[in-house]
Amino acid sequence: MSTRILITVLVLAVSAAGQGTGNAPTAETTHYPNLIHAEMPLYPPAARAAHISGTIEVQVTVENGLVSDAQVKSADIQVTDPEHRTVYDAAARSRVAPMLANPSLANVKTWQFQPEGRATFTVTYVYQLESDRKPLPENENPKIELDLPRLVKITARPFKPTCDDCGAQDHGGGWRILSRTRKGAAVDVVHWPTTAT
């Protein structure tokens, strides 16, 4: 009799524990294939110069060890202008989102996995800028933290470009960052105002 009660209690405990999980996939139930190769992710120099940071979530589909599809699921972008304390609205942030989203997609497409069927999962890229006020050694490299294939976190210091041919131009206190399309046409990406708005 006591064995029958013990079994009944165990069955009820297991079924009660399983009811709270629901059908939503979690990090514990998501299958992450075994990563065997990945290129080094970088903080885009134009985004660093323009003080653009944020989090990009990329949905990745892997088939037979190769990335077959990668799409941006969400982009949470922050643009800070410490000199002018300018506030950037959602429309301005969405216009500069590709400055972080495109390098994230390009990086994840270099990844190679152990060949095994098909898997779909989300990778989070975090681009974080440290304060300009911290004294750091000259030519410091960004800090890269990897928990592959789940998380890529890159922390760097913002900088003002100093070269003439890198696409940045000083316009009397404001910075204008230029980007080139695939066909070579110049596109004005960010213009730093010289007065606060």
Confidence of residue 159 (pLDDT cuts 50, 70, 90): confident
Residue 184 in this model has a pLDDT that exceeds 70: no
Confidence of residue 28 (pLDDT cuts 50, 70, 90): low
Structure tokens belonging to residue 128: 């974080």
Residue with tokens 């996939």: 25
- CATH number of the domain located at residue range(s) 26-162 in this protein: 3.30.2420.10
Average pLDDT over residues 2-30: 44
119, β-bridge pairs: 62
Neighbours of 43 (CB within 10 A): 23
Confidence of residue 52 (pLDDT cuts 50, 70, 90): very high
Structure tokens belonging to residue 131: 């304060």
Task: Give, for 127, the enclosing helix (H) or strand (E).
Answer: strand 118-129
The whole-chain average pLDDT of the chain stands at 74
**Which of 38, 76, 35, 41 minimizes the C-alpha distance to 154?**
41
**Cα distance between residue 160 and residue 49, in whole Å:** 5
Integer-rounded Cα Rg, in Å, for the chain is 23
User: Where are the chain's structural domains?
Assistant: 26-162
Structure tokens belonging to residue 169: 């131009």
pTM > 0.75? no
**CB 103, CB 56: distance < 8 Å:** no
Name the DSSP class of 142. Answer: P
